[in-house]
Structure 1
Amino acid sequence: MQDLSFRSTYAHTGDGRRALGSLIRDIFGIEISSLDRLGHDPSVLAFGWWSGEHLVANVSVYERQLWLCGRRVKAFGVQSVATRPDWRNRGLFRDLFGRALAYADQRADLIILSTGTPDLYRRFGFRQIEEVRFGSETPAGTLSEGCRELSLERDDDLSLIIQAFAHREPTSLLASACDHPALFMLKAKLTSEIKLFHLKKLNAVVAVKQNESSLTILDIVAACIPSVAQIVGALGFTGLRTEVHLTPERLSWQPEEKEAVDNGYMVRGPFAPEGQAFMLSDMTI
């Protein structure tokens, strides 16, 4: 590592964000520059090895606000774990990951990440957890249609979403996330199938996927959590099937089906709802 320099103060500088965005784009094919407009999470701390002004390896952590088994829990998430191919097998990942864990361990008991390569993280004390998707026939709507599709390109819609996040209640007390909106909005920006709606009568923002026959509720951002039937009615949805990718105990709805899924989540530390049927949210990258 003699030809490299370590830095950890670049996550909130223009040059640092551009270098990190370039690394993520080159390694994962994900474009994150839209966060310059949508809003960056101020809790992010990036650890990186640099060759001159070129970022060659990175591990970032960010604060997470979770509700787990009735308790509000501060945790840390891990993201943007990447090393350029020419710099692999030099111990950069292990070094940066160790620094990130040391920082998070001093501030929280729980660390969460999502990965497609779980074997890479077991040696650091992470274990896999299973989430559940919930489904049923579509309930009868209890509200007349009253919604407006939101666009992240419109300043007033962006302000509405940010305001909703500022006052949001947890969708579940068993297992849910009340994180900064950055990843929610980035997921919506990058996934054309996801639609964001403002439910006027409920003053709620919902993220959904839908077609003529099925509706999938991905997240609900509101000061008062509406029921599934209220959401269905406000959207004017009349298809046969509804899925919920959230823990549903506050949604006044009884799922008929539960499907276990591996979303790549791994945890390090105590995770109270482990082994129960839950889902935090699909609105993350």
Structure 2
Amino acid sequence: MNQYHFKQSFSADPTLSDKLFDLVEDTFPGLSSLAECGRKLGASWETASTPFIRFHDDVAITHVGVLEIPMHIMGQRVTAGGVHAVATRAEFRRRGYYRQVMEEVLEYCDQLYETLVLTTPQPEFYLPFGFRIVEEQIFKLQCDCTGDTDGLRILNFADIKDFTLLHRLLETRTPVSNVVGVVKEKPVFCVNEGSRSLYYVEDLDLIACMEIEDCRLHLFDLVATQICSLKEILARIPQHIEEVVIYFSPERLDVKDVQSFPHKLDETVLMVRGTFAAEGEKFMLPRSARC
């Protein structure tokens, strides 16, 4: 049986969360606020992530987190390990601490997952550990559409009905794509999307992670028990839309004349370690599932 030196437990140490976020906030300003959004939506970081932390005089100096992401890849259910919130304090860098922690993380993960995923603007940090870059695509199509009904409303999570609705759909959602999608996942979604406006289409029973910029619709994810066509979604947006940009493989949206382009979402790349059946396909890991 392996003995881990850096693996920690939030439940065993009630002070651990504050020590961790003191570190990660120094590396990723604003992440603590996003994590708090997740907690308010009932999907806490502490219940989802397994932290591997190196300490120096009771101060967290290096962290690598691991969480599970239930994915749908090329039509098959895959439980992937998500590596996230990798951080080392500036004054402790270049001393080999990150390597020590990461090697232990991989020893742990190799017993549990055939696939590891992460997203990063700095892939060079992960290439030495067997991670590889997988190219992602966005999908664009031109249209001339103005919906004939106002079928959207922004969810209000202070209302228990909307809070319950979100959890129901996250628990029962169908993957947004058969190439790469996510099912029954809450913590990453709530951290990534909890501070943004989420739109609900009541007659379709669908949550849309989307933004409208002038006459351009950016569609990042759909949370529903049944994926409808893009035409049905556009019909419920009472605004002129000339272009739709889709940030996931759109084969379930019943669209034609779609063009795909290589794209780095927020200047990050997707990296995988182990098997990944969608490699070489045209897809993007939805924004809501990126860690």
Same fold per TM (> 0.5)?
A: yes
> Which AA in structure 2 matches 1:281?
P
Structural mapping, 1:144-159, within 5 Å: 144-159=149-164
| 1:268 alignment partner in structure 2 | 273
Structural mapping, 1:174-193, within 5 Å: 174-178=179-183, 180-190=185-195
> Which AA in structure 2 matches 1:147?
L
Tell whether the 8 Å contact from 1:138 to 1:238 is kept in structure 2 after alignment.
Answer: no
Q: Deviations over 1:141-200 (max 9, x none)?
A: 78733221113454432322111101100111111122522222222344xxx4311100
- Cα-Cα RMSD: 2.2
The count of residues paired between Structure 1 and Structure 2 equals 278
Structural mapping, 1:65-104, within 5 Å: 65-104=70-109
Aligned sequence identity (%):
26
The alignment partner of 1:55 has SS state of strand
| 1:121 alignment partner in structure 2 | 126
Q: Deviations over 1:105-159 (max 9, x none)?
A: 1111111111111111111111101111011123657873322111345443232
The alignment partner of 1:240 has SS state of strand
Question: What is the CA distance between 1:239 and its match in structure 2?
Answer: 1.7
| 2:110 alignment partner in structure 1 | 105
- Measure the CA separation in 2 of the matches of 1:12 and 1:183: 23
Question: What is the CA distance between 1:10 and its match in structure 2?
Answer: 2.5
> Which AA in structure 2 matches 1:128?
I
Tell whether the 8 Å contact from 2:216 to 2:243 is kept in structure 1 after alignment.
Answer: yes
Tell whether the 8 Å contact from 2:6 to 2:104 is kept in structure 1 after alignment.
Answer: no
**Unaligned residue ranges in structure 2 (runs of 5+):** none
| 1:23 alignment partner in structure 2 | 23
Q: TM-score normalised to the size of structure 2?
A: 0.88
The alignment partner of 1:17 has SS state of helix
> Which AA in structure 1 matches 2:256?
Q
- Measure the CA separation in 2 of the matches of 1:143 and 1:238: 10
**Unaligned residue ranges in structure 1 (runs of 5+):** none
Return the match for 2:233 from 222, 227, 231.
231
Tell whether the 8 Å contact from 2:70 to 2:80 is kept in structure 1 after alignment.
Answer: yes
- Measure the CA separation in 1 of the matches of 2:116 and 2:164: 30
Question: What is the CA distance between 1:83 and its match in structure 2?
Answer: 0.8
Tell whether the 8 Å contact from 1:11 to 1:45 is kept in structure 2 after alignment.
Answer: no
Question: What is the CA distance between 1:67 and its match in structure 2?
Answer: 1.2
> Which AA in structure 2 matches 1:16?
L
Q: TM-score normalised to the size of structure 1?
A: 0.89
- Measure the CA separation in 2 of the matches of 1:47 and 1:148: 40
